[in-house]
Amino acid sequence: MDYTAALDAALGRLHDEGRYRTFIDIERRKGHFPHAIRTRADGSEQKITVWCGNDYLGMGQHPEVLAAMHEALEATGAGSGGTRNISGTTVYHNRLESEIADLHGKEAALVFSSAYIANDATLSTLRDIFPGLIIYSDALNHASMIEGIRKGGGAKRIFRHNDLAHLRELLAADDPAAPKLIAFESIYSMDADVAPISAICDIAEEFGALTYLDEVHAVGMYGPRGAGIAERDRQMHRIDIINATLGKAYGVFGGYIAASAKMVDAVRSYAPGFIFTTSIPPVVAAGAAAAIRFLKGEGGRALRKQHQDQAKALKLRLRGLGLPIIDHDTHIVPVHVGNPIHCKMLSDMLLEQFGIYVQPINFPTVPRGTERLRFTPSPVHGAAEIDQLVKAMDLLWGQCALNRAEASA
């Protein structure tokens, strides 16, 4: 085989479809979030404001998180030195898992290298634990859930996004005796809409199904202690397995599941994605635990309020310009562009002319024709940053002669 030609062909397909991705080289500056330095291809530097980050609360520069990480670094060194089963379980991992279990009101938690791996490893392993398991998966579930469900290899049913009638219809059509699991997200990050958790739990109860909820875009930010939408909606006790990340609102890195002690014990014992990989560094575990601890308390409540206020302020201003924002009353602010070329052009102009960094969101992340810019205001985006963004969007939207009709809510 001509391997080089095959590589060229694979990359060429992406170029042809306009889906070839390039990295923007940025360096965040601690103490100055959301500002960062971009290094251009020619080596020159540009001051930018990051508007598409998922460090939703700025915890990546929080003094308590950094202090915990410094302390762990000095105490234990760089890495964990092993897999969890072979010398890679430390007091930091245990403390983090206790913190997570307490956050979600569950008996236990299990930390993975990322929430992607946690979804992939858990969902693919549940089929070994519950033979004949049928998984009912929301059509807009994240790639990591899709991959885990695919890898598990058993029966799966895809229900239309947030469509309770369709979910019920699919469940009713299957053998009542078969083990079942409903897998869904709390906040779907591209449209920023929210799942009807309570109604899904009602249906799960009716059909004897387990529930699996991805709270990646909600932990830290919703609920009295930041445990997510299920906590806010008082449904946490009805979810069998909660998945989330330590890399977004908690500002660090890693992912986890929280569940009953038996469920965690079984996943821990069977999941290759947990067993055969080096555990996260103690430094990372210490930082994540500090972030969770902080956000459970008064400081967290204040940040959550600020976060929602900033999102509301940005939406109000963009809506005032008649820009088609997608608003589901969450912290993410997608602006519908509806064309991949315009979307990329706007993103490039914002970056080059205004130092505003927002990545274009194109197919396959979202369906063709729904291309968008996805802004993530945070407590570290002040009035000045919002003002600059709104003025730039107004100007560029006019220059590009884009439609100002309102998008869906």
Q: Is 122 in the site for ligand PLP (CB under 6 A)?
A: no
Instruction: Report the amino acid identity of residue 231.
Output: E
Supply the minimum distance, in Å, between the C-beta of residue 9 and ligand PLP. Answer: 29
Does 248 participate in catalysis according to the annotation? yes
Closer residue to ligand PLP (CB): 52 or 66 = 52
By the rule CB under 6 A, 115 interacts with ligand PLP: yes
C-alpha of 50 from chain center: 17
Helices (H) and strands (E) in the chain, counts: 14, 16
CB of 183 vs ligand PLP, minimal distance in Å? 11
**Residue from the set 116, 250, 375, 397 that interacts with ligand PLP by CB under 6 A:** 116
Q: Taking CB under 6 A as the rule, does residue 215 contact ligand PLP?
A: no
C-beta closer to ligand PLP: residue 247 or 282: 247
φ, ψ for residue 69 (rounded to 5)?
-70, -40
Q: Is 359 in the site for ligand PLP (CB under 6 A)?
A: no
Residue 216 lies near ligand PLP (rule: CB under 6 A): yes
Among 101-109, 214-222, 286-294, 395-403, the segment contacting ligand PLP (CB under 6 A): 214-222
- How many residues form the binding site for ligand PLP (CB under 6 A)? 14
Residue 269: its H or E element: helix 261-270
Burial pattern 336-353, b for ≥16 Cβ within 10 A else e, equals bbebbeebbbbbebbbee
The string of DSSP letters for 273-311 reads: HHHTSBPPPHHHHHHHHHHHHHHHSHHHHHHHHHHHHHH
Determine which residue in the list 58, 179, 247, 281 makes contact with ligand PLP, applying CB under 6 A. Answer: 247
Q: Determine contact, residues 192/326, Cβ cutoff 8 Å.
A: yes
Which part of the chain contacts ligand PLP (CB under 6 A), choosing from 35-43, 86-94, 110-118, 221-229? 110-118
Distance CA 149, CA 158 (A): 11
Q: Kindly report the length of the chain.
A: 409
The answer to whether 212 contacts ligand PLP (rule: CB under 6 A) is no
Stretch that binds ligand PLP, among 35-43, 68-76, 114-122, 363-371 (CB under 6 A): 114-122
Nearest CB to ligand PLP, comparing residues 247 and 334:
247
Burial of 134 (0-12, 13-18, 19+ CB in 10 A): buried
Contacts of the segment 19-23: beta carbons below 8 A, 24+ positions apart: 19/362, 19/363, 19/364
Give whichever of 71 and 147 is closer to ligand PLP, judged by the CB atom.
147
Q: Does 245 bind ligand PLP (CB under 6 A)?
A: yes
Count Cβ atoms within 10 A of the Cβ of residue 66 and give its class: 0-12 exposed, 13-18 middle, 19 or more buried.
middle
Q: Is 293 in the site for ligand PLP (CB under 6 A)?
A: no
Distance between CA atoms of 201 and 185, rounded to whole angstroms? 13
Instruction: Check residue 255 for interaction with ligand PLP (CB under 6 A).
Output: yes
Give backbone dihedrals phi and psi of 83, rounded to 5 degrees, phi first.
-75, 165
Amino acid letter, 16? D
> Does 120 interact with ligand PLP (rule: CB under 6 A)?
no
3-state secondary structure of 406: coil
Contacts of 130 by beta carbon, 8 Å cutoff, 6+ apart: 179, 181
Looking at 6-14, 36-44, 108-116, 280-288, which segment touches ligand PLP (CB under 6 A)? 108-116
189 contacts ligand PLP (rule: CB under 6 A): yes
Which of 76, 122, 137, 144 touches ligand PLP (CB under 6 A)?
Answer: 144
One of 84, 142, 307, 315 touching ligand PLP (CB under 6 A): 142
185 binds ligand PLP (CB under 6 A): yes
Which residue out of 106, 156, 180, 248 is catalytically annotated? Answer: 248
257: contact with ligand PLP by CB under 6 A: no
Does 214 engage in binding with ligand PLP (CB under 6 A)?
A: yes
- CA dihedral sign, ordered 219, 343, 365, 10: negative
We find the least distance from the C-beta atom of residue 16 to ligand PLP, in angstroms, to be 26
CB 9 within 8 A of CB 26: no
User: Residues interacting with ligand PLP, by CB under 6 A?
Assistant: 114-116, 119, 142, 144, 185, 189, 214, 216-217, 245, 247, 255
Residue positions annotated with a catalytic role: 248
